[in-house]
Structure 1
Amino acid sequence: MGSLRGLRLAAGNCFRLYERNASSSLRLTRNSDLKRITGFCTKPQESSKASSNPYSHRVPLHKPTDWERKILIWSGRFKKEDEIPETISFEMLDAAKNKLRVKVSYVMIALTVAGCILMIIEGKKAARRNESLTSLNLEKKARLREEAALKAKTE
């Protein structure tokens, strides 16, 4: 009986330790408490350092180049180059590039469709003139044979 009781106590202690570790890891996921992770004592961060830099949470800004300024204008973000500020966010630049990329793809789609229509029209005109690739190849081969025969006679 005594060994069974000791076994229960050991199992209970192991379960409590496991429960304690599991609950502390759950607490860490809710709020990141670095003291629990490392197990060392740490000094609390001073609030004066955090408040001294009011721009700590701002988006990093970028000074646009001349090419990026043209992209901002072509994308429709700004009307004139004078309206573009000295520094812009990377998100604004990415959005302008994406908008310009979409516009270029629309132009390429339109040019492809126009090229296909043009080729269809030219093909129908050639068919009316009885021009086909087969007839053109036969004429070319006949011409090459005649030139080869003339060359053989002259030699």
Structure 2
Amino acid sequence: MPVLRSMTLRVRDAVRGVWREAAKFGVVGLLAFVVDHGGYNLLVFGLPGGTPGGVMRAAPVQASLVATAAATFAGWVGNRYWTYRHRHREKVGQELALFLCANVVGVVITAGTVFASRHLLGLDSALSDNSARLSGWVLATLFRFFAYRRYVFVAP
């Protein structure tokens, strides 16, 4: 019976650890989402109540890339120094390179959904762009969580 109890406690502690990590990852991700989503809307659609159209209104896919790049940097800082502060690598350059590789895949996923919406489905409204970006962002977030845990922020 002590073996079963010990195993149960270890599983419970592991699950709690992952949930704590996922919650921190979620907070950092939410902040990155605000930078990404807000930045995209400012670049493509401009300020609410201002003149219609942002500085990149004719280039929504590129605007998606710019906004996602800014969010990526915010995500790296938040994840490195808060979510995975106990797991980050001593070689910052190597960690950043792996982080950027994982995020390039995330950028492709997010921009790909905008590309599909605009160029394959022919949709070009704020609603369709934001729906496409939200779908891409969810898929990219799931990919990033698993990639960060497995490849980027590894236990020392």
Would the TM-score normalized by the shorter structure come out above 0.5?
A: no
Superposition TM-score, scaled by structure 1 size = 0.27
> Whose radius of gyration is greater, 1 or 2?
1
Which one has the bigger helix percentage? 2
Superposition TM-score, scaled by structure 2 size = 0.27
Q: Which has the higher contact order (CA 8 A, sep 6+)?
A: 2
